Amino acid sequence: MDRKYFGTDGIRGQVGKGHITPDFVLKLGWAAGRVLGKGNNSSILIGKDTRISGYMFESALEAGLVAAGVNTRLLGPMPTPGIAYLTRTLHAQAGIVISASHNPHQDNGIKFFSAQGRKLPDEVELAIEHELSNKMTTVGSENLGKADRVSDAAGRYIEFCKSTIPSTMDFSGLKIVVDCANGATYHIAPFVFDELGAEVVRIGTEPNGVNINAGVGSTSPELLVETVLKTGADLGVGLDGDGDRLIMVDERGNILDGDDLLYIIARSRQKNGGLNGSVVGTVMSNLGLEIALKERGIGFERVSVGDRHILERLQEKDWAIGGEPSGHIICLDRTTTGDGIVSALQILAEVYKSGRLLRELRADVEKCPQVLVNVRVEEGGNIMALPALKEAVIAVEVELSGQGRVLLRPSGTEPLIRVMVEGRNAQQVSRLADQLADRVKELVG
């Protein structure tokens, strides 16, 4: 069945438009309660990032769930992976996240976790969509759900994060800049690293409802780089608004993206006998990562873009490590979903064990030049099926002569066509990416 509401990562859009409205989210809460809330004492958790619209949607979801007869537990601002963790450990039937991740404050979205702390299966999302087509009703007053607030949510998650590395590790002597993107990790990430002994320099920890991801965080690392250099820090940790993505910065100000970090974690697991199977990347993963891993005897497989696809392949093969260049890294041997703080701790653990600098740990990865251009699409229509676009792609592939890759794909979270060209010659790659992007713009009109 075609999805009407759910995209690749829940339901997302601009606040006040489309499905991101209070009335729709009210009914979504009710529909989710009808599908997910089972049993007399069933409960569903609600957490959010720091967007100002989160207050509105938190209340709407709560009302919908209560109307369906489901108890609701409010977590307040909490990273997406923290909500996944608490859903499991508090034995809830599901967890709901109010967040648009790395998007600006004007956007928001709703995504769900199962009782096991994993993304919902397709059939469950479709069941919620089916329920949305029905008229909303309210259970009898005696069967209405109740709501309470989980007061120690942040503390519980902080302790979990620390538990993902050996308790003997002490990061005393390390100075770390932590950028929380003015998002959901602002009251968690600095404390994790501080309690492990590091000297923490904080940026992006003063959310005001509208400054989430604004010039800070993993998608805008310039301030993180500047602060690492200015303070003489050993490294920097950059998270996104909901805490499931990570980039890092070495002491020289060089940015390590998800490919670099995935390599370090995979090599660390391999050296310590803990790498089970191959590493999973996506079609956007740099060719240099694949080459570096395979040269060291580590298998590498690509899937479609999106952590959902990575997770599915890892579970299918019973493997543990996967990730995207954006910094969405999954360590299934530590947790159930992508987690920026947990991923950063795995990197720091390797720095601690090896005694090597961050830049030394990623030195074996020689990136191929890769250019990504986003083309905004305002109108609907299946642009990807146009023969003229296919011809333009073939022309670029012919010029690359088998020494690179071309990828065009619609974004699953924004109205964009993503144009990626990768090859061995940086100037050629840049020119061909712009050429192909210009052709997409022409066809879009």
101 as an active site residue: the answer is yes
Can you tell me whether residue 114 is helix, strand or coil?
Answer: strand
Task: Report which of 161, 228, 240, 150 is spatially closest to residue 194, judged by C-alpha positions.
Answer: 161
Answer yes or no: are the C-beta atoms of 107 and 13 closer than 8 Å: yes
Q: What is the spatial distance between Cα 332 and Cα 249, in angstroms, rounded to a whole number?
A: 24
DSSP-derived secondary structure letter, 372: E
232's tokens: 């003489």
114's tokens: 């199962």
Task: Report which of 108, 93, 118 is spatially closest to residue 41, judged by C-alpha positions.
Answer: 93
Residue of 42, 53, 99, 101 with catalytic role: 101
CA 113 centroid distance within chain? 14
Q: What is the spatial distance between Cα 200 and Cα 182, in angstroms, rounded to a whole number?
A: 16
DSSP-derived secondary structure letter, 142: G
- The one-letter code for the residue type at 246 is L
DSSP 246-309: EEEEETTS-EE-HHHHHHHHHHHHHHTT---S-EEEETTS-HHHHHHHHHTT--EEEE-SSHHH
CA 2 centroid distance within chain? 24
- The one-letter code for the residue type at 92 is A
Answer yes or no: are the C-beta atoms of 217 and 241 closer than 8 Å: yes
Task: Report which of 338, 340, 344, 358 is spatially closest to residue 165, judged by C-alpha positions.
Answer: 344
Instruction: Tell me the pairing of strands 199-203 and 175-179.
Output: parallel
Q: How buried is 367 (Cβ within 10 angstroms: 0-12 exposed, 13-18 middle, 19+ buried)?
A: middle
- Nearest-5° angle of CA 73, CA 74, CA 80? 110
Q: Which of the residues are catalytic? A: 101
